[in-house]
Structure 1
Amino acid sequence: MGLLANIFTWWDGATIGTSLFSARNGKCVGEDVFGNTYHQEKKPSKNDGPPEGRRWVIYNGANDASRVPPEWHGWLHHSYDEIPESHLPQPRIWEKEPTGNLTGTANAYRPAGALEAGGVRAVATGDYEPWSPAEAE
């Protein structure tokens, strides 16, 4: 089922068409910590796109844009021309590693009072008096 999945699915890695396009028209310029590979056109198009050529990512696993680290995101969007490993400074000790979008997973943020976090919220401060229709008359 692996070959058929690559032909017909786009949500879990590169399709056959993307792989053929990458092999024919692009060159691999780098790889990130998640195993995603980054590609750039060998010969930029004259009609459309930036003069440096198109850039794209082939994901290692599910196609999720939140799995692209910030430095590669800047390169993909032509914020700078050099590949990230060649010109970015070393990370500071207080910087955290980027994480993917955790929404819908067990590691997602759940504030106090959320049903998934136990459904108990902080007690009100006591300065709130609810409106009552019987007292309004």
Structure 2
Amino acid sequence: MGYITSDYYINTYNGADAGFELGKYIERASDLIDQVTGYKIKDFDSLPPFVQEQVKKATAAQVEFYVMQGGDEAVNAGQNDLGRVGIGGFSYTRDTVHSATSESKDANRVSPAALAYLEPTGLLYRGLDVVQNVWY
């Protein structure tokens, strides 16, 4: 189940027109939000309202990213080469030998706006939790 509805994406977020693919994009974007957050969202309704709204915005931003990049297949399958830019007679290609780490490959799958929405929630934290009371 997605973190947003079509109504939220269209009327609240005012996202780019996704056409008949909107439902699919919402599901894919929600799955990607789960991956990025390390599956920390167990019960969405129990999250504080601020965190819920940030997750919704991040999901909508990811849906819009899919729309702007030509679909989720292009983004998730790596068909969209974001390391190559061409304007008129000028073109630039990023050095793929030095940027072929899995981190940089995954970075092209996630909307920068989605990450910015999630950043203040603590859901991107990958460290260890602090244990205060340990009983021996």
Bigger radius of gyration? 1
Larger RCO, structure (CA 8 Å, separation 6 or more):
2
Higher strand share: 1
